[in-house]
Structure 1
Amino acid sequence: MSYGKFLDESGDLNEWRKKINLPDQHYEKTFADLRDIWIKDNRYSELIAFIHENWDSGQWDEFFEPLEKHLIENKLEKEFIKFWKGILRHRFSSLWDWNKEFGRKTEYWDGSKKTFECQKLTLEGLYRFKQGLVELGAEQEIQKTNELIKTVDKLEKPKPKRTTDKRKIDENVFWELIKLNREKSEDKFDFIENLSNQLEEFKPTEIKRFERTFLSKYNELNRWEIWALAYIVRRGCGDDAFDYFKAWVISKGQEAFEDVKNLKVSELKKHFDEDPQLEEMFSLAENVYENKTGELMSPVRVKKQKLTGKQWEEESLEKDFPEIWKIFEHKITAPNIGYK
């Protein structure tokens, strides 16, 4: 998604240069110019996704250095961690694949050289990641990174922590876990901690199944009408806030999910007893997997669903959604923050 968008805007940038009679330039310079524009416009998530979508073997280091520097200087710890963990997943995957399948020497092939190259690249990334964490003061992540460095240095995968729950996480178990941990939690942050602790009792493969179910349910909420609900409830809701809204809806359990998904107006208000934002759901399975195995979880792929339904304008929300507007009686005072 971000890869195509970056290429499209690169083409637009070149066309703009032609219109004002600027000389042609190599695509790498255009990429760098667009990178700087995205950084200036705070389009971090899109730029990080673009870099992640281009497999990393060290050749992107020069390209992403300005982004890395910007994230550290502006104390954007969350974005910095997301950025580097995505890169390191590629490197870990290559390292273990080469070490397992080709990390041996035969009469015709010395796979150990390739393993060494992958090990060196992965360690370089880990130390660079750690240096940024030190500058950001992210102590917990520094400890995890130190363990990963030991793992790569020894070329020994740590054994996963003991599994006590042998169930497979299908959709029923997924909702059961959400329900049980919501019921015993005082708030949404307590819920994240309790759910994380219970999820760690499952096999690593089931933790990934949990993530796949979460992402699938998240996609089901990708509708303009639900975005309108989020906008009305929160007095404004941009792209990222809508993502966190959908994650929160899932965290409230199956009943809330179905009521919001189907916009059951008469049932909506009872579910909104806290700020409907829960960004932490996006990193929950990943963190649990890391704590259990000592490894970074490979990306879980689900088919992304495009935004469906009828697009709306901020000025017409009261007219287009009168029942929802009346339930959450207030005036929208937030500026237009780019939901189009």
Structure 2
Amino acid sequence: MDQNQFWEIINRACRSDPESAEEWDSLLVAELVKLSPEEIIEWNHIFDSLEAQANQVDLWAAAYIINGGASEDGFYYFRCWLIGMGKEIYSAAVANPDSLADVATPEWFSEGIDAEAEIYGAAHDAWMQVTGQPDTADYPARNESTETIGEEWDFEDIDLIRQHLPRLAALYEDEI
């Protein structure tokens, strides 16, 4: 399993379609059960690595703006959603969180991005199905908590928002 294969699976299951995020988990499980247990674990490690790379302060601020707030858990779900949106959107957002202004319009996300995209558990579910293990079995791929990258700043300070994320600030000005 490599990153290209990882993204191919994401593309087939999630289709970069935020309106179908509630289906991503079951679609991903359906794709992952086609793999061997070892490949599922490798897929999960890639997922965790990508999720950790997206654990950035400015990306958290973007999630905060788009969702009208973002707890630590909410930001984790946001990063999972971001992976589900596919390599192009993910890579652009990790390189420049303000690029989400092209994707996360207020009309699409009036209710926020939340745990609907529960893709964080898809590999675990698929592994249990493929191996026949019960829910209580020790799953060999557990994600490690990661440190947030970047210097913290006040996500409610409009001047800082405009400085760090000018396009999102303009797009969500009425909600900030």
Larger radius of gyration: 1
Matches of 2:138 and 2:174 in 1, distance apart?
A: 43
Q: Which residue of 1 aligns with 2:174?
A: 330
Q: Which amino acid aligns with 1:233?
A: I
Query: Is 1:170 the counterpart of 2:170 in the alignment?
Result: no
Verify the 8 A CA contact 2:37 2:131 in the aligned structure 1: yes
Provide the identity percentage: 25
Give the match's secondary structure for 1:287: helix
Give structure 2 stretches of 5+ with no counterpart: none
Give structure 1 stretches of 5+ with no counterpart: 1-168, 333-340
- Per-residue deviation, residues 51-88 of structure 1 (Å, max 9, x unmatched): xxxxxxxxxxxxxxxxxxxxxxxxxxxxxxxxxxxxxx
Verify the 8 A CA contact 1:290 1:297 in the aligned structure 2: no
Q: Which has the higher contact order (CA 8 A, sep 6+)?
A: 2
Q: Which residue of 2 aligns with 1:270?
A: 102
Q: Which residue of 1 aligns with 2:11?
A: 179
Matches of 2:97 and 2:63 in 1, distance apart?
A: 14
Q: Which residue of 1 aligns with 2:120?
A: 282
Give the C-alpha shift of residue 313 in structure 1.
Answer: 1.5
Q: TM-score, normalised by structure 2?
A: 0.82
Q: Which amino acid aligns with 1:248?
A: W
Structure with greater helix share of residues: 1
Change (3 A) 1:187 1:302: closer
Give the match's secondary structure for 1:307: coil
- Aligned counterpart in structure 2 of residue 188 of structure 1, from 4, 12, 21: 21
Verify the 8 A CA contact 1:233 1:328 in the aligned structure 2: yes
Matches of 2:63 and 2:13 in 1, distance apart?
A: 24
Verify the 8 A CA contact 1:223 1:307 in the aligned structure 2: yes
Task: Give matches, 1:99-110, under 5 Å.
Answer: none
Q: Which residue of 1 aligns with 2:160?
A: 320
Task: Give matches, 1:113-124, under 5 Å.
Answer: none
Q: Structure 1 residue runs of 4+, over 4 Å off? A: 301-304
Matches of 2:156 and 2:161 in 1, distance apart?
A: 11
Matches of 2:174 and 2:70 in 1, distance apart?
A: 15
Q: Which amino acid aligns with 2:171?
A: I
Q: Which residue of 2 aligns with 1:311?
A: 152
Q: Which residue of 1 aligns with 2:36?
A: 203
| Aligned CA-pair RMSD | 2.1
Matches of 1:303 and 1:297 in 2, distance apart?
A: 15
Q: Which amino acid aligns with 1:282?
A: Y
